[in-house]
Amino acid sequence: MDTRRPTTLACERMAPLVGDLVDDRLDRAARESLESHLAGCESCRGLADDLREIRRSARALPTRAPRPEVWARIAHQLAAQAPARPRAFWTGARVALAVAAVMVLSVVTSVVVLRGPRLSLQPIAPARTAATAVNPSAPDTVKDVDEHLRIADANYQQAITGLEKIVAADQAALDPAVAATLQKNMGIIDQAIRESRAAITSQPTSQLAQTSLFDALRQKVALLEDTIALINVMRKGDQAGAAKLIGGLSKS
Amino acid sequence: MVAFEELYRRHSGRVYNVAWRMTGSAADADDLLQDVFLQAYRRFDSYRGEAALGTWLYRLAVNACLDHLRSHQGRQGKATDFIDDVEGLEPVADPSWQPDRALDRLDLESAISRLPPSYRAAFVLHDVEGHKHHEVAAMLGIAEGTSKSLLHKARLRLRALLRGGPADEAGPPAAAATGTGADGRRGER
């Protein structure tokens, strides 16, 4: 086959299109024009044949399998890294928190069901209907509601205590300025929790006070969770991830 | 670990093959395969589920290959962006490809390994791996037209390597194509 440079102007113009012909990227008019040229030009026809063969052969190249030792090397490195990996630690904390959150959610849900009719001041028909399921005046029911609230509060506190331990153990990974801001925000939430508790003490049936308390507890859990996530990414040296989390904390 | 091993069993072949084609070296492909899966393990938190897991791993692999090619080129004293550094290599003649027989696989693999990195990346991703030009362009961080141009030049260089003629006499250089236009080119099928 002749591989000399095409010498005619037509060849100069057509040659770049040969690759497009091989890839079936020409419209009908361009294809017919090029094929007409190829019919009379051995050099360009040879180029097209060769490029087709290269493309066909490339697609037909056999695949290869990696050596089995590669996985052994990977597994060895993963095993060596495992004790120091923060993710395993974090996963454990997340699982514990998830369990605590489910407990809290179930308790709070039952409290809402029990407490709703008793605290409702508006004679809304559906609420009254629901109230018939639980006798609002029965002392046992009131006792149950208070008990459920106490359990919900206790579960939040348990989750918060666990998270606070994690943060206390690892907060050195945080930038001091960031840690100070988080501490300040935590102080604001703690103040809200204290005020809500005080309101509940003076007005035990206040739905607003109870809602405020559980909102504040939820915020504390969320802030602690975000703080641990931030510690986690900063340990990894993931500056972009840290910036993203800090941005999210700023918005919350 | 068991789940990750299953992930490895499922996707290591594709990762290994693109690494092997891009580097032209079984040893380098082994190293890259290991690096990619260790990186995937460490960075799994960054996997957003926007693409299939295999696609995410493949992207990690292609990026690792490109880093490898860049650093390899850097060690050879060619510190410029490897995508721009496409001229001036002397072809190694292989006169074994005769017009009357199909292209030998080993000849082709050898010729691919001798392509300049940018040509090799475009050729492997398009002709060997079967990606479209817009996908190749996205993976290499270049314009689609540049991908088409690199592919055409790669094929011409391969032809020269396989035929034994000087690389720049295998055909006229291709102008960068940018999809359908007055020249009659259409978008890729």
Name the CATH architecture for the domain at B80-189: Orthogonal Bundle (1.10)
pLDDT-derived band at A23, boundaries 50, 70, 90: very high
- Domain-embedded: residue A24: yes
Within an 8 Å CB–CB cutoff, is residue A66 touching chain B? Answer: yes
- Mutate one of A54, A77, A238 to test the B interface: name it (highest B CB count within 10 A): A54
Phi first, then psi, for residue B136 (nearest 5°) are -60, -45
**A186 plus A133 within the same structural domain:** yes
Q: For residue B175, list chain A residues with Cβ-Cβ distance below 8 A.
A: 16
- The answer, yes or no, to whether residue B98 has pLDDT greater than 60, is no
- Domain-embedded: residue A222: yes
Q: For residue A77, list chain B residues with Cβ-Cβ distance below 8 A.
A: 34, 38
**Lowest-pLDDT range, B29-33, B103-107, B142-146, B182-186?**
B182-186
Interface contacts (A, B; CB < 8 Å) = 141
Mean pLDDT of the region B58-62: 93
Arithmetic mean of pLDDT over chain B: 77
- Mutate one of A7, A8, A20 to test the B interface: name it (highest B CB count within 10 A): A20
Domain range B1-79, its CATH number among 1.10.3720.10, 3.40.50.150, 2.60.120.960, 1.10.1740.10: 1.10.1740.10
Same topology, domains B1-79 and B80-189? Answer is no
- Domain-embedded: residue A210: yes
- The answer, yes or no, to whether residue A124 has pLDDT greater than 80, is no
**A222 plus A162 within the same structural domain:** yes
**A128 plus A210 within the same structural domain:** yes
Considering Cα of A18, then A19, then A24, then A30, what sign does the dihedral take?
Answer: negative
**A22 plus A142 within the same structural domain:** no
Please tell me which residue, B44 or A128, carries the higher pLDDT value.
B44
Mean pLDDT of the region B179-186: 49
Q: For residue A6, list chain B residues with Cβ-Cβ distance below 8 A.
A: 171-172
**A211 plus A136 within the same structural domain:** yes
Q: Which residues contact A193 (CB under 8 A, 6 or more apart)?
A: A213, A216, A217, A220
Please tell me which residue, B122 or A214, carries the higher pLDDT value.
B122
- Domain-embedded: residue A67: no
**Lowest-pLDDT range, A115-129, A130-144, B59-73?**
A115-129
B152-178 pLDDT, tens digit each: 999 999 999 988 755 443 443 333 333
**A47 plus A110 within the same structural domain:** no
Read off the pTM: 0.53
- The answer, yes or no, to whether residue B50 has pLDDT greater than 70, is no
Question: What number is the ipTM of this complex?
Answer: 0.76
Q: Which residues contact B146 (CB under 8 A, 6 or more apart)?
A: B83, B137, B176
**A133 plus A204 within the same structural domain:** yes
- In the numeric block, which tokens belong to residue A80? 């060596």
- Domain-embedded: residue A127: yes
A64-82 pLDDT, tens digit each: 999 988 999 998 888 877 6
Instruction: Please check whether residue A83 is in contact with residue A50, taking contact to mean a CB–CB distance below 8 angstroms.
Output: no
- The answer, yes or no, to whether residue A167 has pLDDT greater than 90, is no
Which residue, of A17, A42, A59, is where some domain finishes? A59
**A26 plus A151 within the same structural domain:** no
Mean pLDDT of the region B22-48: 89
In the prediction, which pLDDT does A7 show?
52
Number of separate domains in chain A: 2
**A49 plus A105 within the same structural domain:** no
pLDDT-derived band at B84, boundaries 50, 70, 90: very low
In the prediction, which pLDDT does A51 show?
93
Query: Where do the domains of chain B lie?
Result: 1-79, 80-189
**A28 plus A102 within the same structural domain:** no
Q: How many CA atoms lie within 13 A of B133 on its CB side?
A: 22
- Domain-embedded: residue A233: yes
Instruction: Please check whether residue B24 is in contact with residue B3, taking contact to mean a CB–CB distance below 8 angstroms.
Output: no
A47-58 pLDDT, tens digit each: 899 999 999 999
In the prediction, which pLDDT does A104 show?
47
Mean pLDDT of the region B53-60: 89
In the prediction, which pLDDT does A135 show?
42
Range of the domain at A20: 9-59
- Domain-embedded: residue A72: no
> In chain B, how long is the greatest CA-to-CA distance?
56
Within an 8 Å CB–CB cutoff, is residue A142 touching chain B? Answer: no
**A138 plus A198 within the same structural domain:** yes
The percentage of residues in chain A with a pLDDT greater than 90, rounded to a whole number, is: 14
Instruction: Decide if B30 and A67 are in contact by the 8 Å CB cutoff.
Output: yes
In the prediction, which pLDDT does A171 show?
77
CA A215 to chain CA centroid, Å, is 23
In the prediction, which pLDDT does A162 show?
75
